[in-house]
Structure formats: structure tokens, C-alpha cells
Amino acid sequence: MRAAVYYSNNDVRIEEMPTPKIKQGEVLLKVLACGICGSDVMEWYRIKKAPRVLGHEAIGVIARKGKSVENFDEGDMVFVSHHVPCNTCQHCLKGHHTSCDTLRSTNFEPGGFAEYIRVPRINVDRGTFMLPEGMSFEQGTFIEPLACVSRAQRLSGVSPGDTVLVMGSGMAGLLNIRLALARGAGMVFATDISDYRLGMARKSGARSIRADGDIPGELARLGGGMADHVIVCTGAASAPAQAFRSVERGGTIMFFAVPRPGVETPVPLNDFWKNETRIMTSYAASPRDIEDSIRLIHSGRVRVDDMVTHRLPLEETGKGFRLVADAGESLKVMILPHG
């Protein structure tokens, strides 16, 4: 089979490799589509494990199933989560499934940017989900990213009537905008330095603010105060300081994205102490979040179809990586391994 092997953002090669062999309890997935995530192009994060096949937003059809697989049949269209928790460790029992060692060590083989992937038994058991009738495989590629967003907003406590500031209007930012509005947020603001992405933020229902401008001043002028929830969806080094100045007393700052390692972020603890401000983080998604995401997309509460800007064959995966890394006029870049 063919796979797109990542060496760097500017070096993605199409290589031949054996089609994975499955064992008892496993399935072989024919990949129909896999989205390129913003984390796929975080070179500082990915290159240390290169070369490898990336891709974790995979949708496909079960081509073969091993013995003892009972809940799925060959021909079923499914979403497969690459990371799954054990559900029994201290982290899982406290609801911190994404801190689970099992979740951080599980994966499918070799990755979603390939014609086929082997889904291990544990991923079949607790990380494989049938696509509901009427959901397209393109919509399915949004399940994993929206699940991550759903988890972040659940932890933050975004509630009806709240004012939300989303910093960064790429894919994650737009999904945060749309979910916040679906959760009943009163006003949603979005920042970016890209006019194209600010335009998409406005189409998604947010009021836009230039990220290189006076964000707190614009919040006060347009919304009458600061934000109850600031959701940081950019790794820009300037974002944390802007977030600290833009949060309302008693509010929450959620770091959905963080600066690269080595970038120090001074925290005004005295201000946070007297204002009872919370700083939170959210990483990945749990099975519960995936189920929520499927419902949100299938019901139409969160629209995703209009965010697909590029559909590329496997041999153009390198082009897709450059599009996402350049952060120009692209949003969801989708790889179609079988054309």
C-alpha cells in the first residue's frame, strides 16, 4: 500500500509499505479521508519522531475484521480514535481520561495518511464509532477535532449568556466559535491577524478583533466588558499576555493551544488572586467527548461542511501540509488516500 511519510513540513514522501496484518480482535480500515490537524504541522512537536506516518482524523470502511470482533462488520463506515483510555486508572476514575498512560501510548498503525490502517484491539473496543446514517465521511473527519473542543468548553463551563473570546481563528478557533454559540453564549469574539480567517470567524457568528490591535479595548467597546471565557487557540507567544488582560473577574482562561517549549509566560498572580480568575488547559478528547461530537455534527448544531477548503489525493499530502503550515487561505485540508 501507499502512505505519506512525514520527514518535515516541507518533506512529505509517498512511500510503499506492506499493508498491515490484523490479529484477533482487530480490524483493517480502508481510509476514505483524513484531515490534516494543526498539531500535525507543529514541527517542533513532530519532527523528533520523524520519519513517521501521521494522521489521526481518519474515517474509513472496515475492509477486514479479525476473529471475536462482534460489534462491527466488513463494509461499516466508522470513525476510529487513535488514543483510547484504560478507564480504570486513577486519572480515568477522576474524569481525567486524557491524562491516562494508556491513552498516551495507544495508536493505530501506521497513521491516517495511508491507504489502510490496522486498528488494535483496544481501539476497536473503546475507540471505534459507527457513523450515524446520513453523516458523510467528510463530516466524520471533524469528529476528533470537535471532540477536543467539546472537552475544552465542558471543562471551562461555557454556559448560556456568557461572553467568550476565542483567540486564533483557524480550524480549532472556528469550531470553538460555533460550539460556544451552540451552547448559548451571549456574545462571541474572535481574534486573528489573517483577514481571511477573521472573515470566516464572522461567517461563523463571531465579532472579529485584530490580534495585533487593542483586544481588551475592543472588548470593552463592543461588548461592554471583558470575556467570561478566553479560549486560546493559537501558539503565538503574545497570546497569553493578551488573554490575561482580556478575562473578566471570576472568568476562565482555557489554553487549548500553548506556545512552543522554551517560551516563558509570566503570570500576573496578584491580579488573578484578587479577581479569582482560573487558568485551565485541555488536551485531546475522551470517548465521552467523541460521542458528544458525533451528536453535535449529526444533529446540525455545529456546522462543519463549509470549512472544507481543500480535498487532495494522497500523492499531494505534502502540498496539504504546506497549506496548513502557511495558515493562509485554507481551513480544513482533507487527504483522500483512494482518490
User: What was the pLDDT predicted at 339?
Assistant: 83
Domains of the chain, first to last:
2-142+304-336 (3.90.180.10), 152-281 (3.40.50.720)
d(CA 36, CA 232): 20
d(CA 76, CA 334): 21
pTM of the entire structure?
Answer: 0.97
Q: Which residue has the cell 504546506?
A: 322
Can you list the residues of the chain whose pLDDT is less than 70? none
d(CA 328, CA 322): 10
**Helix extents (H) in 24-170:** 43-46, 90-93, 101-105, 121-127, 137-140, 143-156
- At residue 168, the 3 state secondary structure works out as coil
User: What was the pLDDT predicted at 129?
Assistant: 98
